[in-house]
Amino acid sequence: MFAGKNVFTSITRSGDRPKRRASQFDRAVHRLYAEPGHVCANQLADHLFQRLYWAIRTIQFKIFYKSEELDVEEFADQCEVSVRPPPLDELARKTRFNRRWIKYMYAKFKNECPTGRMREAEFRRVLASIIAPERATDQ
């Protein structure tokens, strides 16, 4: 129902992570759902009904709204503990590459991806840009 459309038009920034204000959230909910209308003549009962209606719509919105910004893999990457690479001598012994080549590859990789985290497709693209195309195969 909401996939493919981001209903939040403006985002305030706090550091690197986008932060949505409660008022922006309320406006998005009110923009997507119709007004409940008046149910009864009693003003207090009608007001309570409207508050209940919007509370239910808010819960529905939070459950079913697909945010393009929140990806499960990205969330897992944010929560993942940093991993230190193995010592250079150990890498040279296991891979049979010389130390200079490993340093070169590591520097190129860190230049392309400072965080050290990327998806497989991005890794293949970076690896293909570093290694000659005829050598960059899965075999």
Q: Secondary structure of the chain: what % helix, strand, coil (to 5)?
A: 55, 5, 40
- Taking the chain (139 residues) in runs of 10, the rounded mean pLDDT of each run is 49 50 74 82 89 88 66 54 80 90 86 79 80 61
Whole-model pTM: value is: 0.38
The total of other beta-carbon atoms located within 10 Å of residue 53's CB is: 16
- Residue 12: strand pairing partners: 19
So what's the pLDDT on residue 114? 77
So what's the pLDDT on residue 11? 45
Helix H or strand E segment including 17: strand 17-19
CA–CA separation, 85 and 120 (whole Å):
18
CB-based burial label for 8 (10 Å; 0-12, 13-18, 19+): middle
So what's the pLDDT on residue 62? 81
